[in-house]
């Protein structure tokens, strides 16, 4: 069982880092009011306002921010300001034992998926797949997206059914297993590395943005041929935002691609979860056990904090 970090208390300080691309500073600045509404103080990492092409500072600067936030006993949680690209570039230099010895909340999604996988493997810690902080500064943030941060303050099960969004059973049955996964592109990029995602007996989450069906087909084929789909106990399909044909005008639909790879697996598979690049964006812990009941179209997730 993975280490569950300590819950937040009102008055705690969170550390804000940008381990991938630079955040939208205007939106990030607006998001600070949301942290204050939660009763939290915050410290901004040095690299958050740096720019090195498509990266928020050099690899050394982004890595130092992460290590500083882990080591600092006054920081109760680490929240990623943005995704984009570049988190995987620092994965092979992270001091994983440092986080295992100083477990604290780590929150983000999209490109941060690579770090979720790596931290789950080598720090043996529960992490949180939730919206980046800069996205919380947008005008259109759903109330449910905001409410999902409450799980950091009080251990509580998450129950996701059709009261939140319309769900479709692609393959029936019920299963219990550890939650893993996140952004499909980053899951696929982990294959063949020492951070390769382990799906054996686990419930796999997949989501992505801006990929046409042919590209999603290629990524799912990679998961199929590397046996990640066969080894998973169940699959939850999050949002595939802007998955419209572009290069291939005469294209299969997204649903046809998903059905081809996931419909005949003979294990629980449900699609339609508002998890990913969407509103609401339902934040969930990774590394805890969940029960996916595809027949009832219901997902129950154990608490991520203690």
In 3D space, the residue among 278, 169, 186, 281 whose CA is nearest the CA of residue 234 turns out to be 169
| From 116, 129, 215, 277, active-site residue | 277
Task: Name every residue whose Cβ is closer than 8 Å to that of residue 263 and which is 6 or more positions away in sequence.
Answer: 170, 171, 269
Cα 135 from Cα 138, distance rounded (Å): 6
The answer to whether 43 and 16 are in contact (CB under 8 A) is yes
Rg (CA), the chain: 18
| DSSP, res 301 | E
207 is catalytic: yes
247 is catalytic: no
251 is catalytic: no
| From 110, 135, 185, 190, active-site residue | 110
Task: Name every residue whose Cβ is closer than 8 Å to that of residue 292 and which is 6 or more positions away in sequence.
Answer: 174, 175, 176, 177, 203, 234, 236, 268, 270, 298, 299
Cα 107 from Cα 281, distance rounded (Å): 13
Grouping H, G, I as helix, E, B as strand and the rest as coil, residue 197 is: coil
| From 116, 190, 207, 239, active-site residue | 207
Query: Which residues are catalytic, by number?
Result: 110, 207, 277
């Amino acid at each position: 069982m993975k280490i569950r970090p300590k819950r937040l208390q009102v008055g705690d300080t969170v550390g804000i880092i940008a381990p991938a691309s630079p955040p939208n500073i205007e939106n990030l600045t607006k998001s600070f009011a949301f942290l204050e509404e939660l009763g939290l103080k915050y410290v901004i990492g040095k690299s958050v306002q740096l720019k090195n092409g498509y990266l928020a500072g050099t690899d050394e600067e982004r890595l130092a921010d992460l290590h500083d936030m882990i080591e600092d006993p006054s920081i109760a949680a680490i929240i990623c300001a943005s995704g984009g690209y570049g988190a995987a570039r620092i994965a092979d230099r992270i001091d994983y034992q440092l986080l295992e010895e100083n477990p604290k909340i780590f929150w983000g999604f999209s490109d941060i998926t690579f770090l979720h996988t790596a931290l789950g493997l080598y720090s043996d810690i529960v992490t949180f797949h939730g919206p980046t902080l800069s996205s919380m500064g947008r005008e259109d943030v759903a109330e449910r997206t905001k409410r999902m941060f409450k799980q950091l303050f009080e251990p509580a099960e998450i129950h996701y059914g059709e009261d939140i969004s319309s769900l479709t059973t692609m393959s029936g049955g019920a299963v219990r297993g550890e939650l893993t996964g996140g952004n499909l592109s980053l899951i696929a990029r982990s294959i063949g590395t020492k951070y390769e995602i382990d799906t054996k007996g686990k419930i796999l989450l997949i989501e992505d943005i801006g990929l046409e069906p042919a590209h999603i087909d290629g990524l799912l084929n990679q998961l199929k041929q590397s046996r990640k789909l066969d080894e998973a106990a169940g699959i939850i399909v999050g949002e595939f935002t802007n998955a419209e044909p572009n290069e291939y005008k005469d294209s299969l639909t997204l649903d046809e691609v998903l059905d081809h790879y996931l419909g005949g697996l003979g294990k629980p598979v449900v699609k339609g979860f508002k998890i990913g690049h969407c509103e609401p964006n339902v934040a969930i812990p990774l590394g805890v056990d969940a029960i996916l009941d595809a027949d009832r179209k219901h997902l129950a997730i154990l608490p991520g904090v203690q």
